[in-house]
Amino acid sequence: MKFHLILPILASAQLLLLGWGFYAGMQIVSDDPGQIRLPLGARIILSLSLVFTAFIVSLTLKSTVSNLVLLGMILSFFGDLFNAEVIPLPVPLLGGMTAFGGAHCFYIAAFYLLLKPTGVLISTWYWIGSAVVWLVTITGWVRFIRNPDKIPALNCGSLIYALLVGTMAYCSFIVAFKLGGWWWIIPLGAVLFYISDTIIGITDIGRVMLKRPHLWIWLTYIMGQMGIIYGVWLGLAL
């Protein structure tokens, strides 16, 4: 059986469920933006379906890159469970950041494997670009996320996490620039993932108030993960 044939069907089902969940969330009326979310069942099914998708991609491609993406998605699934408090923790957001931080490390490792043959990793311009990304990330964290009213672990953890997700997004763009074609789907996904995490940072840790933030977090997060997973599949398979 050619497992890759079910991937377009999976993608369509995921988008349909995401659309339904977003619509259902929009119908919730509450003065507390934190209560306006996708239904919990939809969130768990979407996250688990992405693990299954990454597994099918890994099984189909049989490559180290796809295996790393699968490991990243497995950690992301646990991060979703922590953030949704399905797995209770004293500080759910810390558990989520830890799991997702590990996921980004796997994604970065996958992108490094793709970039190693190009020689870009020993390029001065690559590391200058990395330094710029880190500088912008730290500046944005100080301006919009750092919050003295939060516990030090959240502030410190959010900075480390921001550097990881920024590095992941930067590496995804370099992959697209060097390899072209279908690989451009990956940075599109990475940017959406970055936006999702930024919304979490500025609303759950920082002091920015947004309307229905968690709906937008999940919309950008699911589409971001889909971009990374399906982008790897299309890049390596076609």
Q: What is the DSSP string of 53-111?
A: HHHHHHHHH--HHHHHHHHHHHHHHHHHHHHTTSS--SSHHHHHHHHHHHHHHHHHHHH
**Domain count along the chain:** 1
Distance CA 57, CA 69 (A): 9
Q: How confident is the prediction for the chain on average, in pLDDT?
A: 95
Residue percentage of the chain with pLDDT more than 90? 92
Q: Which domain holds residue 151?
A: 3-237
Handedness of CA 55, 195, 29, 18 (dihedral sign): negative
Specify the higher pLDDT residue, 136 or 238. Answer: 136
Cβ within 8 Å of residue 138, ≥6 positions away: 159, 162, 163
pLDDT of residue 2: 64
Which residues, 6+ apart, have CB-to-CB distance to 178 below 8 Å?
114, 115, 118, 120
Residues 162-204 pLDDT 10s? 999 999 999 999 999 999 999 999 999 999 999 999 999 999 9
What is the value of pTM for the model shown? 0.95
